[in-house]
């Protein structure tokens, strides 16, 4: 028995933030020193990350609103009764944060709020939040797989939603990476030859926990209680290139799938340069080079929306909305992510 996706949906905010939006920002380094030449900083940022623009959610909208919007589309796409959903697994990291607020609101859970907004009455539909860094949605799929295989559920709604624009330090150049959005899928039991074939998941926390954390603004003159998402970019880059390709190889071996059978790799849209390097190292483990068009990318226009990037990417391709990328029956897909924890996960999926 496996699980398969029977419907997908995503919510992409309408507010487009281009790179020149940051031209009037004063960027500082971690010691508080002002960095000169903002225009050149932005140019180098584009060269490394591939990001030209990203999406921010409008004022008054929060993570649970985006999650509910993506979920509605997935339910409609699957053509199911929402009352038939046994679990709502909602991956996020910062909860509902209103514009201008310094506090994350997570009570009741974001998943419970989404269930309420969807109008689901069935108390047997269990809704819970999953905090697992950027790999949260992939981990949600792994958990849905366990629930269904164990006979605890017939159908699950797995959502990834995040509002990173409200936890970024305007004086940190890394703030240009982050974006907002949501993606969702409906999954149910499938036959053994389609759906999720194998998975891999791991947490590295001995020395890696500080690679992504919350900290004060780099502008030491700001006297406020705000805390912002902070990352050690070089450490994360080195960690990802060392560990993610190996995790992908292990996942592939569990599924007993040859690397030549992979049609698409849907990897967390974190950093274009890093993602390309990960896939190149993965194929190098087999003394191969990646085929053209194997790794769809959305980061250039949508930025890094954390847990939302992979399900949004899947939904866009699934609906024929991403140029030059399609899914066909029998295709083998490799889903993967890396993020705070540090966590790594992946799963092999046959369409």
Calculate mean pLDDT across residues 168-188: 97
Calculate mean pLDDT across residues 284-293: 97
Of the pLDDT bands very low, low, confident and very high (cuts 50, 70, 90), residue 255 is: very high
Q: Which of 99, 160, 101, 93 is nearest to 131 (CA)?
A: 93
Q: What pTM value is reported for the model?
A: 0.96
Q: What is the mean pLDDT of the chain?
A: 96
Per CATH, domain 196-350 is 3.40.50.720: no
Q: What confidence score (pLDDT) does residue 222 get?
A: 82
Q: What percent of the chain has pLDDT over 70?
A: 100
C-alpha to C-alpha distance for 188 and 227, rounded to whole angstroms: 39
How does pLDDT run across 82-91, given as a tens digit for each residue?
A: 999 999 999 9
| pLDDT beyond 80 at 324 | yes
Calculate mean pLDDT across residues 196-212: 96
> Which residues of the chain are in CATH 3.40.47.10 domains?
2-191, 196-350
How does pLDDT run across 70-129, given as a tens digit for each residue?
A: 999 999 999 999 999 999 999 999 999 999 887 889 999 999 999 999 999 999 999 999
Q: What confidence score (pLDDT) does residue 226 get?
A: 86
Q: What percent of the chain has pLDDT over 90?
A: 94
C-alpha to C-alpha distance for 228 and 209, rounded to whole angstroms: 16
C-alpha to C-alpha distance for 42 and 25, rounded to whole angstroms: 10
For residue 8, CA distances in Å to 140, 183, 311, 315 come to: 14, 8, 8, 5
Contact 156, 190 (CB under 8 A): no
Q: What confidence score (pLDDT) does residue 340 get?
A: 95
Calculate mean pLDDT across residues 311-335: 97
Calculate mean pLDDT across residues 64-70: 98
Element (H, E) at 115: helix 110-118
Q: What confidence score (pLDDT) does residue 15 get?
A: 97
Contact 204, 342 (CB under 8 A): yes
Of the pLDDT bands very low, low, confident and very high (cuts 50, 70, 90), residue 54 is: very high
Q: What confidence score (pLDDT) does residue 100 get?
A: 84
| pLDDT beyond 90 at 221 | no
Task: Give all strands (DSSP E) within the chain, no chain letters.
Answer: 2-11, 15-18, 53-56, 87-91, 126-130, 155-163, 180-190, 195-203, 212-215, 228-231, 262-267, 332-339, 343-350
Q: What confidence score (pLDDT) does residue 164 get?
A: 96
Least confident of 44-48, 49-53, 146-150, 221-225: 221-225
Pick 2-191's CATH classification: 3.30.565.10, 3.20.20.70, 2.170.190.11, 3.40.47.10. Answer: 3.40.47.10
């Amino acid at each position: 028995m496996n699980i398969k996706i029977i419907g997908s949906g995503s919510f992409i905010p309408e507010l487009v933030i281009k790179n020149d939006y940051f031209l009037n920002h004063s960027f500082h380094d971690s010691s508080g020193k002002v960095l000169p030449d903002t225009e050149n900083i932005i140019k180098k940022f584009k060269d490394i990350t591939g990001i030209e623009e990203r999406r921010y959610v409008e004022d008054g909208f929060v993570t649970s609103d985006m999650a509910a919007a993506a979920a509605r589309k997935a339910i409609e796409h699957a053509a199911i009764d929402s009352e038939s959903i046994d679990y709502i697994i909602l991956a996020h990291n910062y909860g509902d944060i209103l514009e201008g607020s310094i506090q994350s609101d997570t009570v009741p859970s974001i998943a419970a709020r989404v269930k309420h907004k969807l109008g689901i009455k069935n108390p047997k539909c269990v809704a819970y939040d999953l905090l697992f860094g950027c790999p949260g949605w992939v981990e949600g799929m792994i958990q849905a797989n366990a629930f269904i295989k164990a006979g605890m559920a017939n159908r699950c709604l797995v959502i990834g939603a995040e509002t990173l624009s409200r936890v970024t330090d305007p004086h940190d150049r890394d703030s240009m990476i982050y974006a907002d959005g949501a993606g969702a899928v409906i999954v149910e039991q499938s036959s053994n030859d389609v759906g999720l074939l194998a998975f891999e998941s791991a947490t590295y926390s001995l020395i890696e926990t500080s690679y992504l954390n919350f900290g004060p603004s780099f502008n030491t003159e700001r006297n406020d209680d705000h805390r912002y998402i902070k990352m050690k970019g070089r450490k994360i880059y080195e960690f990802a290139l060392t560990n993610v390709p190996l995790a992908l190889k292990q996942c592939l071996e569990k599924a007993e799938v040859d690397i030549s059978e992979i049609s698409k790799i849907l990897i967390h849209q974190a950093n274009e340069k890093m993602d390309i390097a990960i896939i190149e190292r993965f194929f190098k483990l087999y003394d191969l080079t990646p085929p053209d068009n194997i790794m769809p990318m959305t980061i250039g226009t949508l930025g890094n929306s954390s847990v939302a990037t992979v399900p949004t990417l899947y939904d866009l391709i699934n609906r024929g909305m991403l140029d030059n990328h399609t899914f066909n029956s029998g295709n083998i897909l490799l889903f993967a992510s890396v993020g705070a924890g540090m966590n790594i996960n992946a799963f092999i999926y046959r369409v």
